[in-house]
Amino acid sequence: MREIITQTWSWWFSGTMIAGIMFFLLYFGKSFGFSSNLRTICAASGLGQSVKFFDFNWKSQIWNIVFLVGAILGGFIAKEFLSTDGPVQISQATISDLGELGFAAPVSLQPTELFSLESAFSFKGFLILALGGLMVGFGSRYAGGCTSGHAISGLSDLQMPSLIAVVGFFIGGLVMTFLIFPLIF
């Protein structure tokens, strides 16, 4: 069973599963997105009494909280019980490009130059993680949702704001990859 779960799966299987879930959510009038969970958690903790933004029926979003907890548990199970100790297999050209930026060939999913304890507690690493986290949080709130909400749920609903947001995500990713990332590293 482990061999079946850990093998590389075809893109069409994932696409079919995502489409099936989206049809299911649309049928029941729900929308998908991770960033809305923070608002739900704040409402559940009672912040709706002092901040109007958090004053809504958070119990209608319990299913999304369950999805969030499942994603966290799934990540833990995948890391602890299903991951292999072998290096990540990426192209030699990518390894060469990363080497020019000062990154070693990856041995796990996350580059140790960014996500090790030593780099997280360095001044530069802390600034990168803190500013990046603030920008992602502010951006998802300002855009009215995160990449998963807009790209999966919003585009499935044929919402024009989601199409604009997804185009913005891609432009931002290209600017980061080719302009900002080389300046930082």
Residue 167 within any structural domain of the chain: yes
pLDDT of residue 85: 67
Residue 98 within any structural domain of the chain: no
- pTM, rounded to two decimals: 0.68
Range of the domain at 136: 116-185
Residue 148 within any structural domain of the chain: yes
Residue 99's Cβ-count burial label (10 Å; 0-12, 13-18, 19+) is exposed
Residue 8 within any structural domain of the chain: no
Residue 74 within any structural domain of the chain: no
The C-alpha atoms of residue 166 and residue 149 are separated, in whole angstroms, by 10
Residue 78 within any structural domain of the chain: no
pLDDT tens-digit series, residues 49-76:
898 888 888 888 888 889 889 999 998 9
**What total of structural domains would you count in the chain?**
1
Note whether 54 and 39 are within 8 A (CB): yes
Residue 80 within any structural domain of the chain: no
Mean pLDDT of the chain: 84
pLDDT tens-digit series, residues 87-118:
677 888 988 888 888 888 877 777 777 778 88
SS3 of 5-25: HHCCCCHHHHHHHHHHHHHHH
Residue 125 within any structural domain of the chain: yes
Quote the percentage of the chain above a pLDDT of 90.
12
103: Cβ contacts below 8 Å, ≥ 6 apart:
111, 113, 185
